[in-house]
Amino acid sequence: MSSVNRKSDAYLSKSLFIRGLQCHKSLYLHKYHPDLKDEISEQQEASFQIGTDVGIYAQNLFPNGVEIPFDDVTLADQLSRTTKEIEDGTAFIYEAAFSFDNIFVKVDILRKHEGKWEIYEVKNSTSVKDVHHNDVAIQYYVLKGAGLSVSKAFLVHINNQYVRNGDIEIEKLFTIQDLTEDVIEHQEFVEDEIKKMREMLKDATPDINIGGHCSDPYECDFGGHCWQHMPENSIFSLRGSGPNKFDLYRQGIIRLEDVPKDILPQNQRIQVEGTLDKKSITDKTAVREFLDTLWYPICFLDFETTFMVPIPLFDGVRPYQKIPFQYSLHYLERNSAELLHYEYLAQAKLDPRREFLEKLLNQLPEDACVLVYNKTFETGILNELIQVVTEHEAKVANIINNVRDLMIPFRNKDVYRWEMEGSYSLKYVLPALVSELKYEEMEISNGGMAANAWMRLWEVEDFAEIEKMRNALLVYCKLDTLGMVRILEKLVDIC
């Protein structure tokens, strides 16, 4: 047994309870070996901030409440301040703090209604998930145990059918679902699970193997520790659908060389053979057929859009709708012509959609072949744009008709290099075919980072920092379309 001092092991919180439901080992490591956690990525930090922002925004459902501060404030102080607000008859309390049975919870919104209290848990999801029931149930358990008269428990989540028109209509942005009956039924389950967790915490590290629970319902932050025994080329590196990887793992099939090839679909067999034998594939006939669908002039086009924005930024926008804010366009009028480049990057805080589309239409010849990487994405954005800029519907429809997808030869494995590791993503295809073009050392190296950078521009005031971030965005997006130019050159060389 570990020599760690366990005097406070009985302490739990809402987040620790949810962690323990997902995996006892994760809870144990969090309490005794937090140094084994993975580093928090920029994307994770952005996701956490989104959750915080939505929680604050939802407070407008019950305005003029009192918030219990938690930054640089002790748990005891939070509890005492909450008690004072309750005693003072405050109707709405944000981030109310409670403790019972050595379990600490904070309630996003606590509402006093007809002499009793209602719990409102806020999530940035667009539906109620199983984990949310447990989240609200542990709050109900603690508040009831602490002696509060709780009559209702609700889950507040984003309504993804809402379309902004003017100021945000807070009641339409959110959907409120009553979970009271289910939460009450969960109370025995909550008590049982608390006992199991506390018994577990008295013992040694739980012997729990990796499994689907590592990422369900949340990505565990001890992944690097628990998965460190995986070899570089393991079954979990297989791309696409095929046999259940955890079933193979439990059978002792871990390395790619151990996988019976006859159980794999063709795409995964190609990946395995490529990885083990450094084997590549080139189907010249298929490549020629693809090239025959292209023509000059040819435009290489890539969009960048917002990502994970729950509060609509502009009129006519739904929660989480992608808003295009940037494009890169390389242009070849004919074979051996000078390669031209155009680009657009919207100013922050302004709806970019009309300007985005009109600049694009001015720079795209009507008869040009428009080459993109993942046709579904760009054509989807164009179709949404013509809902806003309706007068250009015919021109946009013509562009969409001229769009061709550079992904096709790689998705079909007509061209495959073992360095692609089974993926046909541009981020894998480009360095495998054009080794001098790489994303790794760039300040912005993927679409998520680009989206986060543009949203940060809304808050940055320092001119030098703004210029630095905008330049990083332009460099990143330009590489995507330049990479497509070089990839097409490689396909031509093949034939």
Backbone angles phi, psi at 341, to 5 degrees: -140, 135
Q: Is the pLDDT of residue 5 over 80?
A: no
- Going by pLDDT thresholds of 50, 70 and 90, the confidence category of residue 202 is very high
Q: In Å, how far from its chain's centre is CA 292?
A: 37
pLDDT at 3: 36
Q: Is the pLDDT of residue 447 over 70?
A: yes
Say if residues 67 and 114 touch (Cβ distance below 8 Å): no
**174-178/116-122 β-pairing:** unpaired
| Mean pLDDT value across residues 32-53 | 92
Q: Is the pLDDT of residue 227 over 50?
A: yes
pLDDT at 42: 83
**174-178/103-113 β-pairing:** unpaired
Q: Is the pLDDT of residue 7 over 70?
A: no
pLDDT at 8: 47
The tokens describing 32, both together, are: 């005794």
Q: Which amino acid appears at position 97 of this protein?
A: A
pLDDT at 9: 53
Answering whether pTM is above 0.85, one says yes
Say if residues 290 and 408 touch (Cβ distance below 8 Å): yes
Q: How far apart are the C-alpha atoms of 290 and 404, rounded to whole Å?
A: 9
Q: How far apart are the C-alpha atoms of 425 and 307, rounded to whole Å?
A: 18
The tokens describing 244, both together, are: 């259940």
- Going by pLDDT thresholds of 50, 70 and 90, the confidence category of residue 4 is very low
pLDDT at 288: 97
The tokens describing 252, both together, are: 């002792």
Say if residues 409 and 424 touch (Cβ distance below 8 Å): no
Mean pLDDT over each residue of the chain, to the nearest integer: 95
Q: How far apart are the C-alpha atoms of 252 and 229, rounded to whole Å?
A: 13
Q: Is the pLDDT of residue 438 over 90?
A: no
Q: Which amino acid appears at position 269 of this protein?
A: R
The tokens describing 355, both together, are: 């300007």
Residue 325 DSSP SS3: strand
Q: Is the pLDDT of residue 399 over 70?
A: yes
* CA distance to 53, 321, 432, per residue, from 156 (Å): 14, 20, 46
| Mean pLDDT value across residues 325-336 | 96
Q: Is the pLDDT of residue 106 over 90?
A: yes
| Mean pLDDT value across residues 101-128 | 97
Say if residues 369 and 399 touch (Cβ distance below 8 Å): no
- Give me Rg for the CA atoms of the chain: 27
pLDDT at 194: 98
> Residue 112 contacts by C-beta under 8 Å, 6 or more apart in sequence?
89, 90, 91, 92, 118
pLDDT at 336: 87
Residue 291 DSSP SS3: helix
Q: How far apart are the C-alpha atoms of 401 and 399, rounded to whole Å?
A: 5
* CA distance to 364, 365, 485, per residue, from 359 (Å): 9, 12, 21
The tokens describing 66, both together, are: 């009192």
Q: List pLDDT tens digits, range 57-89.
A: 999 999 999 999 998 899 999 999 999 999 999
pLDDT at 240: 94
The tokens describing 295, both together, are: 């023509």
- Going by pLDDT thresholds of 50, 70 and 90, the confidence category of residue 43 is confident
DSSP per position, 129-185: -HHHHHHHHHHHHHHHHTT--EEEEEEEEE-TT----SS--HHHHEEEEE-HHHHHH
Q: List pLDDT tens digits, range 293-307.
A: 999 999 999 999 999
Q: What is the DSSP letter of 391?
A: G
Q: How far apart are the C-alpha atoms of 132 and 121, rounded to whole Å?
A: 8
Q: Is the pLDDT of residue 2 over 70?
A: no
The tokens describing 332, both together, are: 């070849």
Q: List pLDDT tens digits, range 366-398.
A: 899 999 999 999 999 999 999 999 999 999 999
| Mean pLDDT value across residues 461-487 | 96
Q: How far apart are the C-alpha atoms of 112 and 104, rounded to whole Å?
A: 21
